[in-house]
Chain A
Amino acid sequence: MTGRATSRIGAVPRPTDMAPGAPSPRTSPPGSPSPPRSPSPPGSPSPSRRTSPPPFASVLEEHGRALLRFCISQVGADRGEDVFQETMIAALRAYGTLEDPAAARSWLFSIAARKAIDAHRAAGRAPLPLADPGRLADGAAVDPPAADGDELWREVARLPDKQRQAVALRFLADLSHREIGAVMRTSEAAARRNVFEGVRRLREDLTDPAD
């Protein structure tokens, strides 16, 4: 009766093996660099000694809103919530394998980035819905962005996928260029370039709204 824990931490697949939650195996090849984890020191301590992950409720509270905004930025307001839910369920499924609590943020966003790409593929690469970004799926009110912001959002939607993702990972997820590279499977330099180009384009588009 005692100690019959229904789910021992560490007994579930590693995030990279997240088959149940990852519809497209191609998006998570074995040995891929992400999700970022703390390097296990050689002769690392036994699993029972490992630092336990923080309560998922705390992770949700701390990172959830930014993650939802990231999902909306990638697939639009209508599909953003679905991608968010898919991401959190996949994260919950693989949660016991999160070795480094400090990496929870980049780990979550790497799952979300893949889910967003999956959603794009599922939609047959339909153009991003240029829906009113001030509206979520159920029509509930959110703070409507200023006219200026609305215009900028349309420019965000028009960015090449890599730049849109990199800019969102930088500004909504607050990830470093190195972490963005790990999430997007590019070099740190390429991540930096994608962020820079994306922001530059946004700036130009706004400066020259006739575009």
Chain B
Amino acid sequence: MAMNDSDPRTEHAANALRTEEIEQALAPDVDPAVWRRITEALAARAAAEDLLDVAVERHDSPFGPLLLAATREGIVRLGFPEEEDGFLDEIARRVSGRVLRAPRPSLSDARHQLDEYFARARTGFDVALDWRLTRGFRRDVLAVTAAIPYGQTASYGEVAARAGSPRAARAAGTALATNPLPILVPCHRVVRGTGVIGPYRGGTEAKRRLLALEAAGGAPGA
């Protein structure tokens, strides 16, 4: 196959057709722009035929691209950039394999509100949430966490007590560490009692920045 200066026909006569030649003959490579259009059409049709269990979109934020996943019921998962690798696999394993990168109204709502939040133009979120990735005591902990007002903090012990188990601070910590909906359910507002920030799914630095954002005067319209 090395003699490229010979007549290609002779080449073919002398050699089996090369794999790439056959592939190209069967159908040309797919242009990226065409591929994008086709996958968008597929996602739209999947949604129209009610086959889209989970829609996933990326959203730029001060922390880098966040990942948002929505079921028909609402936002089911928000992921930080460092969670990107396992994100779709986790959705497939714990929610449904019928997941596509696609828009969905609840995703647009959440993305719009996140932008406002990061711009300090919003102090709370009003989006439908799907809580199926948490349950039991963890769910209770997240529910009371959702009620901590913007710009304020609570300790792990306080959150545990509000969830009905005053001595379960450690379990409350686990619940918050596995919060499937960070930022939207503000687990960053739960800190160690002594003023130490404590761990966070998106990293301690992200938690510090969220608390600083909320401490910096609050939203204009708050």
Q: How far is the CA of A141 from the CA of B33 in the complex (A)?
A: 9
Check A96–B28 contact: CB distance below 8 A.
no
Smallest beta-carbon distance A200→chain B, Å: 9
Residue on A with the closest CB to B95?
A5
B22 in contact (CB, < 8 A)? yes
Say yes or no: A206-B26 contact (C-beta < 8 A), given A56-B99, A60-B100: no
B106-136 CB mask vs A (1 if < 8 Å, else 0) is: 0000000000000000000000000110110
A50-73 CB mask vs B (1 if < 8 Å, else 0) is: 001111111010001100111011
B96-109 CB mask vs A (1 if < 8 Å, else 0) is: 11111100000000
Q: How many A-B residue pairs have CB under 8 A?
A: 171
Check A69–B98 contact: CB distance below 8 A.
no
Check B132–A73 contact: CB distance below 8 A.
no
Q: How far is the CA of A60 from the CA of B42 in the complex (A)?
A: 10
Q: Which of B44-52, B154-162, B187-195, B200-208 lies at the interface with chain A? A: B44-52
Check A136–B17 contact: CB distance below 8 A.
no
A residues sitting closer than 8 Å to B (CB atoms) are: 1-7, 9, 52-58, 60, 64-65, 68-70, 72-73, 77, 80-81, 84-85, 88-89, 92-93, 95-96, 98, 133-134, 136, 138, 140-146, 148-149, 152-153, 155-156, 167-168, 171-172, 199, 202-203, 206-207, 209
Check B25–A149 contact: CB distance below 8 A.
yes
Check A145–B24 contact: CB distance below 8 A.
yes
Say yes or no: A57-B37 contact (C-beta < 8 A), given A5-B95, A143-B29, A206-B9: no
Q: Which residues of B contact A88 (CB under 8 A)?
A: 42, 46
Q: Which residues of B contact A207 (CB under 8 A)?
A: 9, 12-13
Check B34–A140 contact: CB distance below 8 A.
yes
Check B93–A52 contact: CB distance below 8 A.
yes
Q: Which residues of B contact A81 (CB under 8 A)?
A: 38
B residues sitting closer than 8 Å to A (CB atoms) are: 8-9, 12-13, 16-17, 19, 21-31, 33-35, 37-39, 41-42, 45-46, 49, 51, 53, 56, 71-73, 88-89, 91-93, 95-101, 131-132, 134-135, 139
Q: How far is the CA of A60 from the CA of B38 in the complex (A)?
A: 11
Say yes or no: A171-B92 contact (C-beta < 8 A), given A92-B46, A96-B97, A148-B8: no
Check A171–B42 contact: CB distance below 8 A.
no
Check A56–B100 contact: CB distance below 8 A.
yes
Lowest 8 A-B CB distances belong to which pairs? A152-B25, A69-B27, A73-B26, A55-B88, A55-B92, A72-B27, A53-B97, A142-B31
A-B contact pairs, 7 of them (CB 8 A): A5-B132, A58-B88, A69-B30, A85-B38, A96-B97, A143-B31, A206-B17
Q: Which residues of B contact A6 (CB under 8 A)?
A: 53, 71-73, 96
Residue on A with the closest CB to B34?
A140
Check B29–A54 contact: CB distance below 8 A.
no
Check B34–A9 contact: CB distance below 8 A.
no
Check B38–A209 contact: CB distance below 8 A.
no
Check B42–A54 contact: CB distance below 8 A.
no
Check B27–A3 contact: CB distance below 8 A.
no
Q: How far is the CA of A167 from the CA of B12 in the complex (A)?
A: 17
Q: Which residues of B contact A69 (CB under 8 A)?
A: 23, 26-30
Q: How far is the CA of A139 from the CA of B141 in the complex (A)?
A: 55
Check B34–A2 contact: CB distance below 8 A.
no
Check A140–B31 contact: CB distance below 8 A.
yes
Say yes or no: A3-B135 contact (C-beta < 8 A), given A55-B92, A85-B41: yes
Q: Which residues of B contact A53 (CB under 8 A)?
A: 92, 97
Q: Which residues of A contact B17 (CB under 8 A)?
A: 152, 199, 202-203, 206
Q: How far is the CA of A120 from the CA of B144 in the complex (A)?
A: 60
Check A54–B25 contact: CB distance below 8 A.
no
Q: How far is the CA of A81 from the CA of B93 in the complex (A)?
A: 30
Check B9–A55 contact: CB distance below 8 A.
no
Q: Which residues of B contact A7 (CB under 8 A)?
A: 53, 96, 98
Q: How far is the CA of A65 from the CA of B29 in the complex (A)?
A: 8
Which of the listed residues A57, A81, A141, A152 has the most CB atoms from chain B within 10 Å of its own CB? A57
Smallest beta-carbon distance A27→chain B, Å: 20
